[in-house]
C-alpha cells in the first residue's frame, strides 16, 4: 500500500472509492487502536498513516473529480495489493462461504502456509455474493477487462 500511495492518491486514482473506505475501516482499527500494528505502520509507512488521516477528513476534497485510473493504466502497485488480498483474504472468504453453504459453525483453510481456523460469519458470505452480483452486472467487455487485470492475483477465484 505504501508503494501504491507513492504514485496514486487513492486506490483507483484521484478520488476515494468504496474500496478505499473498506480498507480505511480496517486500518483505523489496526493503526489507531492496536499498539503492535500501529508501531509497525509508524516504523514502515508514514505515507499510510497520512493517507489514513486524509481519509478521516475528506473535507475540501473535490467531490466532482471523476478521474479514475483505468485498469489498463493502473500502476503495478495496485496489482500487488490485489495479490496480497488474493493470498491472504480470498482463501478465507471462499472457505467461509463453503462453510455457510454446508451449515458449518466453523471452518479452516490454509493461508500463506499456515492453518487458519475461524467461526463462520454470514456477513462475509453476503459480501462475497455482493461482489459476484456486481461483477455479473458488468457488460462482457468490462468483465473481460476485470478478469485480465485480476489474472494471477488469486482474486479471480471469487468471480466464479
- The angle subtended at Cα 11 by Cα 9 and Cα 15, nearest 5°, is 55
Same domain, 115 and 137: yes
Q: Is the pLDDT of residue 132 over 80?
A: yes
- Mean pLDDT, all residues of the chain: 94
Q: Are 11 and 4 within 8 A, CB to CB?
A: yes
Question: Which residues touch 98 (CB under 8 Å, ≥6 apart)?
Answer: 104, 107
**Which range of residues forms the domain containing residue 160?**
70-160
Same domain, 55 and 104: no
Q: How confident is the model at residue 160 (pLDDT cuts 50, 70, 90)?
A: confident
Same domain, 114 and 45: no
Percentage of the chain modeled with pLDDT above 70? 99
Domain boundary among 38, 65, 92: 65
CA distance 18 to 64: 16
| Model pLDDT, residue 67 | 77
Same domain, 50 and 93: no
Domain boundary among 32, 65, 98: 65
pTM attached to this predicted model? 0.85
* 3-state secondary structure string across 24-90: HHHHHHHHHCCHHHHHHHHHHCHHHHHHHHHHHCCCCCCCCCCCECCHHHCCHHHHHHHHHHHHHCH
Tens digit of each residue's pLDDT (9 = 90 or more) over 65-120: 667 899 999 999 999 999 999 999 999 999 999 999 999 999 999 999 999 999 99
Structural domains counted in the chain:
2
Amino acid at each position: 500500500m505504501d508503494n501504491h500511495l507513492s504514485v496514486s492518491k487513492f486506490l483507483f486514482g484521484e478520488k476515494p472509492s468504496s474500496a478505499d473506505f473498506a480498507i480505511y475501516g480496517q486500518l483505523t482499527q489496526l493503526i489507531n487502536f492496536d499498539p503492535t500494528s500501529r508501531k509497525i505502520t509508524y516504523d514502515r509507512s508514514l505515507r499510510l498513516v497520512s493517507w489514513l488521516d486524509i481519509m478521516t477528513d475528506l473535507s475540501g476534497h473535490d467531490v466532482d473529480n471523476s478521474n479514475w485510473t483505468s485498469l489498463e493504466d493502473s500502476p503495478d502497485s495496485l496489482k500487488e495489493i490485489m495479490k496480497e488480498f488474493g493470498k491472504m483474504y480470498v482463501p478465507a472468504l471462499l472457505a467461509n462461504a463453503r462453510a455457510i453453504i454446508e451449515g458449518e459453525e466453523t471452518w479452516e483453510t490454509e493461508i500463506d502456509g499456515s492453518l487458519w481456523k475461524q467461526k463462520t460469519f454470514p456477513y462475509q458470505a453476503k459480501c462475497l455474493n455482493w461482489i459476484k452480483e456486481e461483477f455479473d452486472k458488468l457488460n462482457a467487455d468490462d468483465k473481460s477487462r476485470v478478469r485480465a487485470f485480476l489474472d494471477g492475483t488469486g482474486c479471480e477465484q471469487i468471480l466464479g
